Structure 1
Amino acid sequence: MTTIFDTLTIEQLRTRTSEKWRHYPSDVLPLFVAEMDVPQAEPVVRAVHDAMVRGDTGYPAGHGYASAFAAFASDRWEWDVDVARTRMTADVMVGVTEVVRLLTDPGDAVVINPPVYPPFTTFLRHADRHVIHAPLADGRLDLAALDYAFGRAKAHGRRAVYLLCNPHNPTGTLHTAEELTAIGALSAAHGVRVVADEIHAPLVPGPGALFVPTTTVIPDAIALHSASKAFNLAALRAAVAVPGPEATELSNLPEPVADGVMHLGVLAQTAAYAEGGAFLDTVLAGLHHNGSLLHGLLAPLVAWQPPDATYFAWLDLRGLSEDPARALLTTGRLAVNPGPTFGVEGAGHVRLNFATSSAVLTEAVTRLRATFSAAEPG
């Protein structure tokens, strides 16, 4: 089967100048950073091209971006977003940081679920927040660990936030409505506010899998969304903060937060949400195919099942190497994300980006097998 990920050759991809293709020497196959190996969606190309032609390179205005997202959310998830109550931010992590600043004070605690996206820790510490871990249990949220962490976060009567990754990066786990309901009850009991990074929400290729928006279950939660991951728009960033029906704080976001929003990013992402549905569906079909392909290529050396969401393979290589990412890079010339960067719970794991061609995936697993050939089953 040929998918959208087979459109571009490796030679074409290596002409790109982004981090994925410039961080390592040309003999390294890069499957680490969250960029997809796809051509850009035509509506996005047209929107940016037309803006440049007419000199539309000023500052963003209006609710067009939020309106496009709201229509997308209604169509994909039957989620009724109140556009007037949303706020734009420069990107998701900037938005997360600013919302955390609204809901807590310097020195207050923020709870996270490692292994989790590394910037959660770096951004929160930069904002002078104390990070408390409630590790996942077998890849899912651990309610007992969260209960304990929430208690620690509120021990001295200070304000606290729980930063949820939904869907979860790097595992690709989708949190169920039942899990979110339980989180809502715990957060209410402890007086902890929930902030959700939902940047990977559109990337749910698994048949029958369902993304549940956090704010539809936890009414005082605040979620951050962006078309960046689903439409490969990291270079054209923008995000929208979406409050639940009982969250009132976004009206207090300081003006400089909006000043960091890039007009071309807003135009590109508005076009993606408004006109990119067909493109996204081809991406999802390609990811479903790639997940199945990778599963077969890895067996029986690595036991792995495709995730319900994202385009990441969270591979447990503890039986093959103490430092598998280093071994893959130095011996196999294959670049993946080291598991420990997601937290100590990631030791022995790597994150591999499978949003690439069948040829690249096949070569990647060939290099992986060659690196760990001594561990191959007889």
Structure 2
Amino acid sequence: MDFTLSPEQELFRRTLRDFVTREIEPVATEWEESGRHPAEIIETMRTMGLFGLTVPEVHGGLEVDMVSFALVFEEISRGWMGIAGILGSHSLACLLIARNGTEEQRTRWLPRMATGECRSGIALTEPDAGTDLQGIRTTARLEGGHYVVNGAKTWITNARHAGVLPVLVKTDPQARPAHRGMSILLVDTATEGFTVTRDLPKLGYKGTETCELLLEDLRVPADCLLGGVEGRGMQQALSALETGRINVAARSVGIAQAALDAALSYTAGRHAFGSPIHDFQAVQLRLADIATRLQASRLLVYWAASRADGGERVDTESGMAKLFASETAITAALDAMRLHGGYGYSKEFVVERLYRDAALMSIGEGTNDILRTVIARRLTSGATRIG
């Protein structure tokens, strides 16, 4: 087995790391504190082509392999996890359209999404339906050549700056099981009836907006039904979430790496009893644990990404990677905070932000307890074998 990156992937990672070091790390703390929109960073990401990560080359995108996809979110999250969120939901929307869209839908949206001219996210969650997507209440009733959409969505990343937004709806609310009546509509956010009601206040994950939406008698042309066939929305969404979990797992690795970097730097410079505190065994034990869990997480992420590149179903692999890496991010951030002592609780040091950002990783793209059940069911059904 070869666990090394290819020369192309190494070059890609160096380019990303230089970008993060030059443009993100110097401003992350200040901009997060002030709530400043990271317009300059977004413009650089547009120039680098990062909005086209999952867009096919024929439509102007990079169409990167999944390991390179993971590298983007790992490296950017080392500098500021919130910036990775701007690309994360957008990349899932691009993937949804690239995999499932009609030729007209791909031609209409993907070239503009690849350049970042048209940004996007993915609107699945509702106030009473997150994990249980079959419980959504947003409906789309076909009238002539339009769907009339009514409902509400919440926790929608990028909604305020999106040009098009894939929205999960019930085109047949009476269908049983419910997923057979669920579809995805590609909603032009400039359409009357689409309203961003507010940005949600959050513990962390700053730099990108997370919104509540109201969809009120929103008229969406029938040709905006993703793939042109009703009843496939749940399948389309769950397929995209497999890739989304690689994204979140890679972000978790980035947070854990930043925590380790901060801990190593601080414990080398902080002295007690005449020695740097990294000479003390209690400190060394924490550093060793952070580093070991971090590297195990990274290998799980690259393993899941490599399997996805092979065209395989990766719900188990991406679930394992997201579960382990997100828990690692939380423990790494907390341990780094402890190693900083009182300074770890200060906003003057990066570990305070890492601690706040890490918490989301265990929730996003499926809570960790839900993923444990997904993994277990695949194992007990015989669909997945380990070892």
TM-score (norm 1): 0.27
Q: Report the structure, 1 or 2, having the larger helix content.
A: 2
